Structure 1
Amino acid sequence: MPKNNRINDTNQTKGNFGDAFTYDPKFNGPTDKRSCTDIFFLIIFIAFISGWIVIAFIGYSNGNPEKLIYPTDSYGDICGRGQYHDRPYLFFFNLLKCAKNLNHKIFDRCDTPQVCVSQCPTQTFSLYQLNRLDERYKSLIICKYNITATNENFKQLINDDKCAGIYFKSEPFAGRCIPSLLTMSGQILTDEMTSGGNLMDNTNTAIDLKKIKDTNQAIVLLLNAQQVGYKIIQDLRQTFSWIIIGFGLAMLISFLWIVCMQWFAHLMIWFSILAVIVLNSCGLYYAVNRYTTLSSETTAEPLVNVSSKKSVNYDFRKSMDNNLDSYLANRDTWFAFSIICAIVLFILILVLLFLRKRIKLAIALIVEASRAVSCVKSSLFFPVIPYLMQLIVISYWATVAILIASSARPQYKNLKTGQDCHPNLILDSDPQSCVFIQYFESNVIFAAHLYNLFGLLWGLFFVIGVGQVSLAGAFASYYWVFKKPQGVPFFAVFGGLYRCFRYHTGSVALGSLLIATIRFIRIIIEYINEKCKKYADNCFVKVVMCCCRCWFWLLEIFMKYINKNAYIMIAVYGNGFCTSAKDGFLLILRNATRATVLDKVTDLLLIIGKLTVTSSMAILSFYAFSHKLEFLDIPTLNYYWVPIVVITFGTYLIASSFFSVYSMAVDTLFLCFLEDCERNDGSHEKPYYMSKNLMKVLGKKKK
């Protein structure tokens, strides 16, 4: 901290938590005499961004996003492109071998030949039990490229996996042939090319419905995603205009809420607390009631009567479509809702019982923050800039991730020897034996993905840091003037933004680097934890991973707290990150009793305000889209909760953007208040900068 901000006199206090701030007649808020801070980390940040751009260029030069969109056959060729432009669909010789893909990319590593076809099979039948390939089958049989099946060789071709032996009546989805309407006799699938015979596999065993369901779990996931995704997109299209209206209304309510906070802060905060308690109580009652009701209901009967031998048509795709509404008919869902509502309600009641006095102090601080926001009105619209910057960072990350993933090289394997090969270099007499296995992601590509992920984290936290430093400078300018609001600079927010970019970009880069590193380590730990669950699922590993996850989670929370205080001190004094973090942390420690609880209670009250606005919009949208408001012309939807979820989530983000200004205002004013108490004593020579209302609530008096 600059030397002129601390004066050595006999009244200076010194202890375990550093020297207290002392009176300085020259200090009147954010200093104008600044210099660039933490330039080394600014250089590192620029170098990292340059490397990120290079990776994006390499991915753009070598990548082909079509690999991620369109299906690829066993030779690495994209169906519907190039020489196979007239064959847009991917056919699997034996879908029963695709079950292991449940934990991998669906269909990418299916151990069965895959070829591009112009049309999916229109009938369900098997070739394994045939002795003669008559004319009916010659037009239906599907083989590898440049192979023709005849009556003499079709048996050998099927055994060598050069022609498919089992065919399911299919429909194309995402460029792949997926089973659709299947004929059944009881639980056994029927061969439609015979007179009601059973569908047989290569071991002369009848294929039943349970087998195809159990062995094709990947298909189940794909079908669920397809059906649900299609219906969700359809609902979003139908309600797009209503969603926009909902977002506009959410913005209006959030803005009015912030404006009303300037005059009715006490009333609105207590109303928010009461509203959240009432809503949680109602939610808890409804969830418990639904859980009790569903527990008493009997289970549904099976879709297919096992004992019945009557031939029926079974819609495989429809049976695999787990309607998301069914989750609301699951008692476990309501049990989870009950637990969540009970925990939230319990915490709120404890806060009211044991922190009543702290709540009053927190409300006074929020009232002061309301006055600061009313003086610096541009702060209400400033969050739009950081959010747009975050949107740019996320879009860039997603684009680079797609380009990197599509840069993977195809890996081929010889079916006879099991060795890696290349179709253009194979010396085997049968060129069909060298087949495509997967797109192989080398260590370079994996490292590029990690680099891109770290870039996303660093970029997002950097943007957040810039916004915090800018707002802190504006609200510090408000606090450290005697004549409010006349003495507050007109462009306080943009003045803080200018100082941040002009002098302290390196400090923000350092602070965001620390948080990004911790978050990156947490992601790696989560990845390792998932691997441990799969390969080393034992108690000792679980305990170690749980401790690591908990410790780094706490570390991230602590560092975010340190960062915010450091950014406030940077905005006021213009020092480097480490010096500012130390001074801010020691200032908090010297006032730990007052600061710790009050700061967290204030954050809780702001969160309750956000929840009140969000809950209001959620209830309003529920009544609108469930057709309880008959005067609104709402279209009939597949899932009425889709626009409700979108509007609720969007409302929370919009409310967060407004309340984030309040949060930063409260934190800045609180640190300034603590420093004001150390610098001044309320006398004529050392008057307080705090307002009369804040002075009264906190027990301070002018001498």
Structure 2
Amino acid sequence: MNSCNLEVKGSFLCVYSLNSFNYTHSPKADSLCPRLPVPPSKSFPLFNRCVPQTPECCSLFASVLINDVDTLHRILSGIMSGRDTILGLCILALALSLAMMFTFRFITTLLVHIFISLVILGLLFVCGVLWWLYYDYTNDLSIELDTERENMKCVLGFAIVSTGITAVLLVLIFVLRKRIKLTVELFQITNKAISSAPFLLFQPLWTFAILIFFWVLWVAVLLSLGTAGAAQVMEGGQVEYKPLSGIRYMWSYHLIGLIWTSEFILACQQMTIAGAVVTCYFNRSKNDPPDHPILSSLSILFFYHQGTIVKGSFLISVVRIPRIIVMYMQNALKEQQHGALSRYLFRCCYCCFWCLDKYLLHLNQEIHLTSH
């Protein structure tokens, strides 16, 4: 459809002496019609739409689209301005992770105690600084503004909360001090499993690649649903696509499929890792590790545990969909400034669904471990 076919204030953009049929066929159309915002290009059909083949059209459209979206423009400009810092921090995080992994392999007990000691010292330091600031505020005679008094109350609240958290953590460490040995043993078992199957470290990358492929496929199907329809030629040569009957019901089915399949892929990853770790842990010959534990875990998953994965991911999807609906309605009510009672009820519903979701996730993980 040519842009000359659009109407502005009841009249066509081209001169009145030119018939609308000749907008694209007449050789005088270039001088009698306004210039198009994109260069002319041959097009090919895609999802019942005409897509230009000339790269200049796509590059011009993409630059205009990115400049019009303020949020995306700010994100991209921020990433480009700090790309060196972001890249350096990513490399530093990777190096620290690898160093921590190798360090845990040799001095697990010492690192666990160092980590617990650092957490306790950090909390004590924060408590001391907050109480010192509050003491400084109370002895300062120049505090007269309301904002400074509010700051003093905030510092007092933070000091009380941090002191309570520190006290609870110290009590838990004292009560569960015998469990520290169990934590050290778990880290040692994890190190042995990773040394027996080092490709476990790359398992999240494979899962992420599969999820990206599925999301791209899901978007392609979504575009097909959004552009599906029967072509009808209107007056003036314009073509409109009327949506097929019943196509609107496919949207909800497609959304459920997104959540269900994503949870299924993540559950397959958990089952694969659990199977590989169990195979390495219960290996009778400690000096002879099992061959290909990840592949054997995958084969057991696809031959024996597909029903468990499908049913568990379906239960999580059943709980997660109402949670998304409640969150959407809560945000809608927040924008329309409804009563406090409705917001409180929606928050309670969201909290209940969140607790049920976390419980089902934990139950699924336990089932994945016990299935092997």
TM-score greater than 0.5 by the shorter chain:
yes
2:2 counterpart residue number: 83
Rounded Cα–Cα distance in structure 2 between residues aligned with 1:547 and 1:374: 45
Equivalences, count: 300
- Measured in 2, the distance between the counterparts of 1:350 and 1:397 equals 50
Residue 253 (str. 1) matches residue 96 (str. 2): yes
In 2, the alpha carbon distance for the partners of 1:282 and 1:556 equals 36
Partner of 2:76: 233
Check if 1:474 corresponds to 2:276: yes
Give the structure 2 partner of residue 496 of structure 1: 297
Change (3 A) 1:530 1:231: closer
- What 5-or-longer segments of structure 1 have no aligned partner? 1-81, 88-114, 117-141, 149-223, 300-330, 410-421, 426-438, 573-703
User: Is the CA contact (8 Å cut-off) linking 2:263 and 2:316 kept in structure 1?
Assistant: yes
Residue 459 in 1 paired to residue 261 in 2?
Answer: yes
Deviations along 1:369-408, one digit per CA (max 9) or x if unpaired, are 2223223323222332212212223333444445555669
Give a deviation string over 1:133-161, Cα, whole Å, max 9, x none.
xxxxxxxxx8443399xxxxxxxxxxxxx
Q: Which has the higher contact order (CA 8 A, sep 6+)?
A: 1
RMSD: 4.8
The residue number in structure 1 matching 2:320 is 519
Shift of 1:498: 1.8
Distance 1:281 1:388 in 2: 43
1:146 aligns with 2:12: yes
Aligned to 1:547: 348
SS in 2 for 1:381: helix
Q: Which digits, 9 at most, give the CA deviation of each residue in 1:178-210, with x for residues without a partner?
A: xxxxxxxxxxxxxxxxxxxxxxxxxxxxxxxxx
- TM-score, normalization by structure 1: 0.36
The match for 1:158 is none
Tell me what 1:368 maps to. Answer: 189
Where does 1:557-636 land on structure 2 (aligned, <5 Å)? Answer: 557-570=358-371, 572=372
Deviation at 1:254, TM superposition (A): 1.5
Judge conservation of contact 1:375–1:485 (CA < 8 Å) in 2. no
The one-letter amino acid of 2:361's match is K
Distance 1:298 1:501 in 2: 66
The residue matched to 1:493 in structure 2 has which SS? helix
Give the structure with the higher percent helix. Answer: 2
Q: Structure 2 vs 1, CA of residues 535 and 390 (structure 1 numbering), >3 Å: closer, same or farther?
A: same
Is the 8 Å Cα contact of residues 275 and 294 (structure 2) preserved in structure 1? yes
Instruction: Point out the structure with max Rg over C-alpha.
Output: 1
**Paired residues of 1:458 and 1:512 also in contact (CA < 8 A):** yes
Structure 2 CA distance for partners of 1:229 and 1:388, relative to 1, 3 Å: closer
Rounded Cα–Cα distance in structure 1 between residues aligned with 2:109 and 2:203 = 26
- Between the aligned partners of 2:124 and 2:218, the Cα distance in structure 1 is 42
Unaligned stretches of 5+ residues in structure 2:
15-66, 138-142, 236-240
**Cα shift at 1:462:** 1.0
- CA positional deviation for 1:506: 2.7
| Residues 531 and 483 (structure 1), Cα distance of their counterparts in 2 relative to 1, 3 Å cut | same
* C-alpha displacement of 1:564: 1.0
CA separation of 1:544 and 1:267: change in aligned 2, threshold 3 A: same
State the distance in 1 between where 2:183 and 2:345 align. 39
Q: Is the 8 A contact 1:408 1:441 kept in 2?
A: yes
* Cα offsets for 1:240-265 (capped at 9, x unmatched): 35534433332232122122212111
C-alpha distance in 2 between matches for 1:512 and 1:385: 19
Q: Which residue of 2 aligns with 1:529?
A: 330
Quick check: 1:390–1:463 contact (8 Å CA) kept in 2?
A: yes
**1:95-154: per-residue Cα shift (whole Å, max 9, x none)?**
xxxxxxxxxxxxxxxxxxxx88xxxxxxxxxxxxxxxxxxxxxxxxx8443399xxxxxx
For the structure 1 residues 250 and 531, does the alpha-carbon distance in structure 2 shift closer, same or farther, using more than 3 Å as the test? closer
1:505 aligns with 2:306: yes
Please, which of 85, 109, 116 is the counterpart of residue 266 of structure 1? 109
| Native 8 Å contact 2:263 2:317 kept in 1 | yes
Partners of 2:367 and 2:358 lie apart in 1 by 14
Give the whole-Å Cα distance in 2 for the aligned partners of 1:504 and 1:563.
13
Structure 1 residues 447 and 298 mapped into 2: Cα distance closer, same or farther (>3 Å)?
farther
For 1:349 and 1:442, locate their aligned partners in 2 and report how far apart those are by CA, in whole Å.
64
Contact 2:228–2:244 at 8 Å: present in 1 too?
A: no
Q: How does 1:151-550 map to 2 (within 5 A)?
A: 226=69, 229-240=72-83, 242-276=85-119, 342=162, 348-349=169-170, 351-401=172-222, 404=225, 447-486=249-288, 488-532=289-333, 537-538=338-339, 540-550=341-351
1: distance between equivalents of 2:13 and 2:299? Answer: 70
Distance in 1 separating the partners of 2:328 and 2:260: 19
Aligned equivalent of 1:605: none
The one-letter amino acid of 1:271's match is I
Supply the AA of the counterpart residue of 2:200: S
- On the 8 A contact 2:283/2:290 being kept in 1, the answer is no
1:406-453 Cα shifts (integer Å, max 9, x gaps): 6699xxxxxxxxxxxx9958xxxxxxxxxxxxx999995654443333
Distance 1:359 1:452 in 2: 47
Q: Secondary structure at the match of 2:107?
A: helix
Q: Aligned partner of 1:529: which letter?
A: Q
Could you tell me how far apart the structure 2 residues matched to 1:296 and 1:369 are?
Answer: 58
Residues 238 and 357 of structure 1, relative CA distance in 2, 3 Å threshold: same
- TM normalised by structure 2 equals 0.63
| 8 Å CA contact retained: 1:379, 1:471 | yes
Q: What amino acid is aligned across from residue 375 of structure 1 in structure 2?
A: S
Instruction: Give the C-alpha shift of residue 353 in structure 1.
Output: 4.4
1:262–1:374 Cα contact (<8 Å) kept? no
C-alpha distance 444-357 of structure 1, shift in aligned 2 (>3 A): farther
In structure 2, what is the Cα distance between the partners aligned to 1:505 and 1:513?
A: 12
For residues 335 and 276 of structure 2, what CA distance do their matches in structure 1 show? 51
Q: Aligned partners of 1:346 and 1:396: how far apart in 2?
A: 51
Gap change, CA 1:406 and 1:551, over 3 Å in 2: same
Deviations 1:624-683 (A, max 9, x none): xxxxxxxxxxxxxxxxxxxxxxxxxxxxxxxxxxxxxxxxxxxxxxxxxxxxxxxxxxxx
